[in-house]
Amino acid sequence: MEIIKTVDLKKSFTNQTVKTEVLKGINISINKGDFTGIVGPSGSGKTTLLYCLSSLETITAGNVFFMGKDISKYSEIELANLRKYSLGFVFQFYNLIPNLTVYENVLLPKIIANKKEDNIESILETVGMLNYKDYYPNQLSGGMQQRVAIARALVNEPTIIFADEPTGNLDQKNGLEIMKILKKLNKEKDITVILVTHNEDYLEFCNKKIHLIDGRTS
Ligand SMILES: Nc1ncnc2c1ncn2[C@@H]1O[C@H](COP(=O)(O)OP(=O)(O)OP(=O)(O)O)[C@@H](O)[C@H]1O
Ligand SMILES: [Mg+2]
């Protein structure tokens, strides 16, 4: 089943008088259960593409379809609901809230979505962080913080996880661990993963590759 499709997607940024065309007509299709890797040189538009696919960034022209629906036509409320209930995000810098514990950081999106506090411990177990549930982020290594960030992305049972260089700040061993967790979620929970990475070695985890060069797929 097709979960994301773009038709001639374009994105430009205009700063004062200068217009920069970053995405120059992207046509891609991603199926449910795919593990997609977006690669390409720095500045080629990878993050911009990920943000346009996940509705974090508005698009300039073309269409982005999520399960057949054109999200560029969604209202702000519809977009907020899509992000809250169907999408999970993992970034290079873990963005955990420093004065909340591991448990509370993972719980937070549930509270925001008005859901019951039920499966937090099992999710922490999935990412191997249950023993650290009462720790604060600054008491954890980078790899551990990223596991918590993945747990937080999982808490509302997303259909898709978008990850922008989730291993970018980690050493090789911890980076590989994070990739294995994402792969496990992809296989066992059928979560679609869309990942931006600089590391070509990680493409072996992906069944689909999007290679961007100067705002176009190659
Ligand atoms: N908010 C913005 N305003 C203006 N230009 C922007 C903005 N965001 C991105 N750009 C420009 O878009 C281009 C692509 O940026 P993007 O962050 O998508 O690249 P990237 O492929 O993710 O690079 P990297 O590998 O370094 O993270 C760059 O030239 C950047 O300067
Ligand atoms: Mg980037």
Q: Is 20 in the pocket of ligand 1 (CB under 6 A)?
A: yes
Distance 46 CA to ligand 1 centre (A): 8
For 8, the token pair is 């001639």
User: From atom 16 of ligand 1, which residue's Cα is the shortest distance away?
Assistant: 45
Ramachandran sector of residue 8 (left: φ over 0; alpha: ψ -120 to 50; beta: rest)? left
Which residues of the chain fall below pLDDT 50? none
Q: Is 207 in the pocket of ligand 1 (CB under 6 A)?
A: no
User: From atom 8 of ligand 1, which residue's Cα is the shortest distance away?
Assistant: 48
The pTM (predicted TM-score) of the whole model is: 0.94
pLDDT of residue 171: 92
pLDDT of residue 72: 86
User: From atom 7 of ligand 1, which residue's Cα is the shortest distance away?
Assistant: 13
- Is the separation of the CB atoms in 80 and 54 below 8 Å? no
Q: Give the architecture (CATH level 2) of 34-47+74-211.
A: 3-Layer(aba) Sandwich (3.40)
Q: How is the chain split into domains, by residue range?
A: 34-47+74-211
Give the integer Cα–Cα distance in Å for 100 and 108.
9
Give the integer Cα–Cα distance in Å for 64 and 193.
17
pLDDT of residue 48: 98
